[in-house]
Every structure is written in C-alpha cells, then in structure tokens.
Amino acid sequence: MAAEVGAARSVARKVPESFEQVTKLARYQLREYVRSRRFVALLVIVIAIGAILTVVLAHFRGLLVSDTAAFYGSFWGGAVDLIIILSAVFFGGDAIAGEFQNKTGYFLMGLPIRRGAVYAGKFLAAFLASVAILLIYLAILLLNGIYYFHANAFPWQLGVALVLALVYLAAVMGATFFFSSLFKISAYGFVLTAILFLFGFSLLADVATDLVKIEPWMIISYAESTIGSVFATNPNWGFTGVQTVAPIVGASWSAGIGEGIVIMIGYFLISALGGLWLFEREEFS
Amino acid sequence: MAPSIETIGLTKRFGPFTALDNLNLKLEGSKCVGFLGPNGAGKTTTLKLLTDMIFPTSGDARVNGVSVRERRKEALADTGVLIETPEIYPSLTPTEALEMVADLRGVPAAERQDRIRTVLGEVKMTDWADQRVGRMSKGMKQRINIAAALVHDPSVLMLDEPSTGLDPRGMAEVRTIVRDLKQSRRLIFLSSHILSEVVDVCDEVALIDRGKLLFYDTLENVTARFSGGFTSVDVAFARPLAPEDVAQKIGTLPGVAGVQTLDPKRVRVRLNGGVEAQERLLEALAGLHLGAISIADSGSALEEIYLSQISRGD
C-alpha cells in the first residue's frame, strides 16, 4: 500500500532535474552567504581598500594617474588577486568541509539530489558571492576612473581584465573546493588555499624561472599575472629575457592572455573535478 | 509491489570494525516500525546506508524498490529523512529552510506555502517561522528538521532518534506527531533507544545489536515469544504498603509470579498470563482492601526482552 501511495505522489511531485536543483540550491546558498558575517567582513575589507585607494589617489594624483591603462593596471591588476583569493577562501573554504564539520550536510543529503548537484550549487553560490564582492571593488575603481579620466575611463583592456579576473576566480574557487573536499575540517582548507595562493605558487614560479630556468606555465600565479599585464602599453609575452639578482642569474617569462586563460581553465577543471570526485566518495560517517 | 524499505545482505565495515553485519530486513505497509538497539548497535549506520550518506561494503539498500546507491535521487524522492540532528544554514529562517527543501523536492509552488505552514504548525514552530535558525535552541532546530522531513508528505519516513535534544514536553510532542503521522498512509521507520517511545508509537519492532538483527516482529508477537507468557503490571495504592502485605497478601494471590516494590505506594506485579490474569488480580486486590487505586501495564515487557537479548550478546 505504501508503495502505491509513493508511486502516486511521485507522479504529482516530480523531483526537479539536476541542473534545476543546482540553480535552486545556489539561490538559497547565496542568500546564506550574503547574510553571513564573512560577507560583511569582505565588504568591509573591499570598501577599506577602495577608500585607501581613493585617498591615496587624491593625495598623489599627478604621480599615479598618468593614463587609464596605468591606473587600472595598478589598481585592478595589482589588487584584484588579493580580493579574489580572500573571497574564494571566505566563501569556498568551508563549502564542502563545513557540510561534514557543521553537520549541515545531514540536512541536504537526505534529499533526492545528486552529490554533484550539491557541489555545483554550492560552487555557483560561492562564485556569485565572490563576483558581488569583485563588482563592488570595480564600482569603487570606476568611480575614481570616471572622476579622473571622464569619458576615457573605460579602456578596452578593462573588459579583458575583468574576464581574466573571473576565470582566475573560477580557478581559485576550484582549488578551494578541492581542498575543502579533501578535508573534513574547514580550517585546513582555509589555511592551505590562503598559503598556496598568497605565497606558495609565487614562490614555486620563482623557483621555476630562477633556479630551473623553465617557463612556469604549470603555476597559476604565472597565469594570474595576465590580469595586470593586459594593461601594458607594449606587452611582451613569452620569454622576456635574463634577470640577474646576484648571485642568481634567472630567466623571465610573461604569460600571454590566451596562455593565461588556458592555464586558469586547466586549474579550474582539474581542481573542481578533483574536488567533486572526492566529495562523491566522502562518507557522512 | 516493492517493499517500502528493504535491505539485502547489507554489510558495513569501518576498517576491521563491522558496524552492520548482513542485515536482511523487509518493511512494507502502513505502520510504524521501531528500530531498537543500544548505542553503537548499527541503527544510525543502517539509516545512513538507506539514504546513501555512507556506502555499503556489500549488499544493497532499497527504498520503494529502488537501490539508493544506484539511483539515490529516485530512491529518496518520496522519503522523509531525519538523521543525526542536522544543522540548518544559520542565516535562513525555518520558512526559508523548508522552502529550500520543498523547492529541491519539487513540491509545486502553489501548495508549497500551505505545506510549510502545516508542518510548522505540526511541530509547533509557527511563532518562530521567520526568525533566523542560527539563534534557535537545539530542540527548536530538531523540530524544524522534523518539519523538513514531512514537508513533501512522504510515503516513507525514516527518523533517527527524533526526540534527541528535546525536553520532556518536546519528546511527548514528537511522539504525538509520530502517532498522528501513522494515520496518514505511510511507513515510519523510527530508530530509538528509548523503549517507552517505541512501545508508545510503534506497531512492530526490530532489535539490533552489534550490527546484527536479533529479531523483527510485531510488539505482541515479540512480547509473547520472549516473555514466556508473563505480563507485568504496576499497581498504585492510596497509602504505603507494609512489606508483609506485599509478600504475604499480594505475592500469594493466584496467578502472581512475583512482586517488586517500586516505592512504598507502588508495586510491580509479574503475572502468569495475559489480560485474564490482570482481570483476576484487579478483583483480588479489591478484596484485600489495601487501598489499590490504579493498575496499568508496566511497559516493562519490552524492556526485559531488550535487556535479556542485549545482555545475551555480552
């Protein structure tokens, strides 16, 4: 009898397709993020950075705002990576580990939803929350740009740099989700992502160029540098020469835009799919 | 017609430890089945396997005839689940949390708000419907979890110690909710180590210990099978009894197999027989003029069976 009842209800209440569940879950998760203290904290950080930028620009106007490309190269290319890393860590650091550690996973995993849909929904929400933070920073930057450059405040490189930043965000978020899936304790994911992206990858890139003398195409920080280099007047991509910082005689490379995008997408795919693979196999034990 | 819940040779090992050992269980029909066992017996492990939260070492778990491992989405479509006092996203309100569940489960938008209002009313959380969950007590969160398991009106309900974290009043309310749910046509699989809860609301009982199923039957059959034809009743008196009255007057009544003093005004009488023996005891007590004011099933039969079966495994 129960099975008959069940069959009848299944007809009336068709469980949404997985893609639809991803967007539904992302909507509620995004609401959770936007109301969280971490969102407020990031907002404060971004507004503080924006305020400092505005004050510094006002004070050193002649030195810092020679042209729009230099302006955005410094203040978008030079600062956005930090905001991206902080956003990814804040929103993605405990996205998966927290489901185990905080037991919120027990609320979700009893539902008729594939683990892949949970993972994708949470990823989408964390990505969108981070985009919101980036857009706030961009708005502050644009207000300054419009103030100083008027109609010339929107160079074409800014659009490219914005796309590069979003791809980089996807890559960092993918790595954050990977580490979050790897551990059942949120703090490990937070710390590992922050260390790797703030210092680790840059250090590895230096080792590759200065000691091993190879193009560090496998290091994401190399690809990330395109967000700033796109604003260069005469960009010099590929091998850019020998650098000597005694006693080290190193080499120097600069990633092209296409190369940077490929590297970042590679990082995103490998880490995000790796994280999903781990999450699919993780038990709520 | 496929059983609502079925486990086939279900086994789960964590390293060298066998948490569940070849569990074969088939539950069907509209009733409440109590899943009893001490802590660590394998109750929660079974429910987690039935909901794909953990994966079997061998065997299969099926809900409404569908393997949860192979097709979890389909298997859990018509199932309400409450396992291990889940936490709800703290920034959401109960209404929003239930909207999320209903939305993900495909409850049509037209009936969603009605269902949410109904289940929040059932768990007595209407007044807190729009407060943030993060500010609520464990008991209040557990009520929302119960509501979340009910919001889509499932045909199969799996509840893992649902009264955990609730105060006595909350526990009583949960029992009332479960009893009311039995009136709708559904199978309720209720894991618990609270015997009185199972006796109060369940029709059938499965006892598990150390990962092995010891028995599964109706409460009546279990009692008849394991109690050796004895029943126990608690008798209350208006005034304290003298020890000699207990031993010499009550203890020697026909059909009485033993008497235990619970407190000066209450005794537990073990009777050789069922309802007829209780009837004879009631008449005899009235004739003794000891001030007997009430007689009630002690509910200890299942407890005695539970203890004897569990201790047998020690």
pLDDT, tens only, B164-174: 777 888 788 88
Q: How confident is the model at residue A64 (pLDDT cuts 50, 70, 90)?
A: low
Query: From CA B40, how far away is CA B19, in angstroms rounded?
Result: 8
Q: What is the pLDDT of residues A172-201, one digit of tens each?
A: 999 999 999 998 788 888 888 888 888 888
Q: What is the ipTM of this complex?
A: 0.82
Q: What is the pLDDT of residues A128-155, one digit of tens each?
A: 999 999 999 999 999 988 888 877 778 8
Q: How far is B125 from chain A (nearest CA, A)?
A: 18
Query: From CA B288, how far away is CA B270, in angstroms rounded?
Result: 18
Considering only residues B184 and B66, tell me which one the structure prediction assigns the higher pLDDT: B66
Residue ranges per structural domain of chain B: 5-224, 227-312
Q: Residue A163: is its pLDDT beyond 80? A: yes
Q: How far is A74 from chain B (nearest CA, A)?
A: 37
Identify from A11, A106, A115, A184 which residue to disrupt to test chain B contact, counting B C-beta atoms within 10 A and taking the largest count. A106
Residue A248: what pLDDT? 61
How many domains does chain A contain in total?
1
Q: Residue A4: is its pLDDT beyond 60? A: no
Q: How far is B93 from chain A (nearest CA, A)?
A: 10
Query: From CA A152, how far away is CA A140, in angstroms rounded?
Result: 16
Q: Do B73 and A110 touch (CB under 8 A)?
A: no
Task: Report chain B residues whose CB lies below 8 A from the CB of A91.
Answer: none
Q: Residue A41: is its pLDDT beyond 90? A: yes
Q: Do B51 and A35 touch (CB under 8 A)?
A: no
For residue B138, count CB atoms less than 10 angstroms from its CB and return exposed for 0-12, middle for 13-18, buried for 19 or more.
Answer: exposed
- Rg of chain B in Å (alpha carbons): 23
The nearest alpha carbon in chain B to A105 belongs to: B86
Q: Say if B239 is an interface residue toward chain A (CB within 8 Å).
A: no
How does DSSP classify residue B55? -
The nearest alpha carbon in chain A to B92 belongs to: A32
Q: Residue B157: is its pLDDT beyond 90? A: yes
Q: Do B29 and A28 touch (CB under 8 A)?
A: no
Q: How confident is the model at residue A106 (pLDDT cuts 50, 70, 90)?
A: very high
CA B303, B304, B305 angle in degrees (round to 5)?
Answer: 90
The whole-number average pLDDT for the span B92-121 is 93
Would residue A3 count as lying in a domain?
no
User: Residue A259's domain spans which residues?
Assistant: 16-281
Residue A63: what pLDDT? 66
For B159, the enclosing helix (H) or strand (E) is strand B156-160
The answer to whether domain B227-312 has CATH 3.30.70.1560 is yes
Considering only residues B140 and B50, tell me which one the structure prediction assigns the higher pLDDT: B50
β-partners of residue B294 are B236
Q: What is the pLDDT of residues B216-262, one digit of tens each?
A: 988 777 776 776 677 788 899 998 988 888 888 888 888 888 888 88
Q: Do B186 and A5 touch (CB under 8 A)?
A: yes
Q: Do A4 and B1 touch (CB under 8 A)?
A: yes
Q: What is the pLDDT of residues A13-26, one digit of tens each?
A: 689 999 999 999 99
Domain B5-224 - what CATH class? alpha beta
Task: Report chain B residues whose CB lies below 8 A from the CB of A109.
Answer: 51-53
Q: How confident is the model at residue A11 (pLDDT cuts 50, 70, 90)?
A: very low
Would residue A9 count as lying in a domain?
no
- B239's CB contacts (< 8 A; 6+ apart) are B265, B291
Tally of CB atoms within 10 A around B293: 11
Query: From CA B180, how far away is CA B122, in angstroms rounded?
Result: 10
Q: What is the pLDDT of residues B60-84, one digit of tens each?
A: 999 999 999 999 999 999 999 999 8
Out of A18-22, B50-54, B298-302, least confident range:
B298-302
DSSP per-residue string spanning A18-72: HHHHHHHHHHHHHHHHHTSHHHHHHHHHHHHHHHHHHHHHHHSHHHH-SSHHHHH
Q: Do B104 and A16 touch (CB under 8 A)?
A: yes
The nearest alpha carbon in chain B to A9 belongs to: B78
Q: What is the pLDDT of residues A276-285, one digit of tens each?
A: 999 999 999 8
Q: What is the pLDDT of residues A234-270, one digit of tens each?
A: 666 655 666 666 666 666 777 788 888 999 999 999 9
Residue A131: what pLDDT? 96
Using CB atoms and an 8 Å cut-off, which of residues 77-96 of chain B contact chain A? 77-92, 96
Task: Report chain A residues whose CB lies below 8 A from the CB of B185.
Answer: 1-2, 5
Q: Do B51 and A114 touch (CB under 8 A)?
A: no
